[in-house]
């Protein structure tokens, strides 16, 4: 589903955020991406979101080379991807419902369909009763779950998460990981960038480690750190 092929990213100014990164993820696979701040995790996710373009190398999604997508095709590509942001990027002047509905409205779903799917997604994260509230009225964990509902409401084939458990307590983190597991079980490819060691240790999952832009470790199992 996701294939990095000898990919490098150098920013103007000479900083090399990623160096010859190669890996593959199958459909329905779930993996952690870890490493220190500045090791290249965010850059890797940005490349997957087409917020950045690689300097060299190829990035293939479902066999399609993203380098060949023109700027006008980017929106169509992004509709296949769901992203959970570290700072959850919710629109504070809109209700929870409207926030989650955004990816569907953007894709042109009619209102009736939007309502049905948004409620299904909110039900999935256990926030069905909060749909009319504004994000500010919710707790940190709830906001993060709204962000997850928005990331999956349009049934993406790829789910990316950037520090999804950033400032949550262990119990909430576990709940959120359980949510990701559920999406994986219906065939979504899930990639979670995190440096939450305890979280990684609790889950038996593939771990990819970035160090100074290079992929130094790619393997499964316990205590990959």
Partner 1 sequence: MAATDNNRDANQRGASGQKLSFSHRWRGYKSHHRTTLRTSFKKMLQEPLQTILTVMVIAIALTLPAALYLTVDNVQQLGSNFESSAQITVFVQKGAKTEAIQGLEQQLTAMPAVASVDYISAQQALLEFKALSGFGSALRYLEDNPLPAIFLVQPRVEGEIDLGETKKVVDAISGLPVVEDVQIDMAWLQRLHSLIEMGHKIVLALGITLGIGVLLVIGNTIRLAIESRRDEIIVVKLVGGTNAYVRRPFLYTGLLLGLLGALIASIMLFSCLLWMSSSIENLASLYQSQYRIEGLGVGGFFTLMLLGAVFGLGGAWIAVSRHLRDIEPR
Among the candidate windows 132-140, 154-162, 196-204, 208-216, which touches partner 1 by CB under 8 A?
Answer: 154-162
Applying CB under 8 A, does 89 fall inside the site for partner 1?
yes
Of 109 and 200, CB closest to partner 1: 109
Structure tokens, 15: 């900083």
CA dist., res. 85 & res. 103, Å (int): 14
Applying CB under 8 A, does 28 fall inside the site for partner 1?
yes
Among the candidate windows 99-107, 135-143, 192-200, 213-221, which touches partner 1 by CB under 8 A?
Answer: 99-107
User: In angstroms, what is the minimal distance from the CB of 33 to partner 1?
Assistant: 19
Instruction: Count the site residues for partner 1 by CB under 8 A.
Output: 35
Q: How many CB atoms lie within 10 A of CB 135?
A: 19
Applying CB under 8 A, does 75 fall inside the site for partner 1?
yes
Among the candidate windows 13-21, 31-39, 161-169, 184-192, which touches partner 1 by CB under 8 A?
Answer: 184-192
CA nearest neighbour of 27 among 205, 178, 187, 204: 187
CA dist., res. 148 & res. 13, Å (int): 35
Binder among 36, 116, 169, 197 for partner 1 (CB under 8 A): 116
List CB contacts of 13: < 8 A, sequence separation 6 or more: none
Applying CB under 8 A, does 87 fall inside the site for partner 1?
no
CA nearest neighbour of 77 among 193, 162, 158: 158
Task: Count Cα neighbours of 208 within 13 Å in the Cβ-side half-sphere.
Answer: 23
Of 56 and 105, CB closest to partner 1: 105
Give strand ranges (E) for the chain.
2-10, 16-25, 30-34, 56-61, 64-65, 81-84, 158-162, 189-193, 206-211, 214-219
User: In angstroms, what is the minimal distance from the CB of 192 to partner 1?
Assistant: 18
Size of the chain in residues: 225
Are the C-beta atoms of residues 200 and 208 closer than 8 Å to each other? no
Structure tokens, 57: 């190398």
User: In angstroms, what is the minimal distance from the CB of 23 to partner 1?
Assistant: 20
Helix (H, G, I), strand (E, B) or coil at 215: strand
Binder among 77, 128, 166, 214 for partner 1 (CB under 8 A): 77
User: In angstroms, what is the minimal distance from the CB of 126 to partner 1?
Assistant: 15
Binder among 110, 219, 221, 223 for partner 1 (CB under 8 A): 110
Of 61 and 200, CB closest to partner 1: 61
Q: What does the binding site for partner 1 look like in residue numbers (CB under 8 A)? A: 27-28, 49, 51, 72, 75-80, 83, 89, 91, 102-103, 105-111, 113, 116-117, 120, 150, 154-157, 185-187
């Amino acid at each position: 589903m996701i294939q990095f092929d000898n990919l490098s990213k150098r920013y103007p100014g000479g900083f090399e955020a990623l160096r010859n990164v190669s890996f593959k993820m199958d459909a329905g696979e779930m993996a952690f991406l870890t490493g220190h701040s500045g090791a290249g995790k965010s850059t890797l996710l940005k490349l997957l979101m087409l917020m950045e373009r690689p300097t060299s190398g190829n990035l293939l999604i479902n066999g399609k080379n993203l380098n060949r997508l023109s700027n006008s095709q980017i929106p169509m590509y992004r509709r296949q991807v769901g992203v959970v942001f570290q700072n959850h990027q919710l629109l504070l002047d809109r209700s929870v419902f409207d926030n989650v509905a955004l990816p569907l409205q953007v894709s042109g779903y009619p209102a009736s369909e939007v309502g049905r799917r948004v409620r299904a997604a909110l039900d999935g994260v256990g926030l069905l009763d909060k749909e009319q509230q504004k994000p500010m009225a919710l707790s940190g964990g709830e906001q993060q779950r709204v962000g997850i509902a928005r990331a999956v409401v349009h049934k993406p084939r790829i789910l990316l998460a950037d520090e999804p458990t950033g400032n949550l307590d262990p119990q909430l983190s576990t709940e959120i990981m359980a949510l990701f597991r559920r999406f994986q079980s219906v065939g979504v490819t899930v990639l979670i960038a995190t440096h939450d060691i305890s979280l990684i240790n609790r889950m038996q999952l593939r771990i990819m480690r970035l160090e100074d832009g290079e992929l130094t470790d790619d393997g499964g199992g316990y205590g990959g750190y």
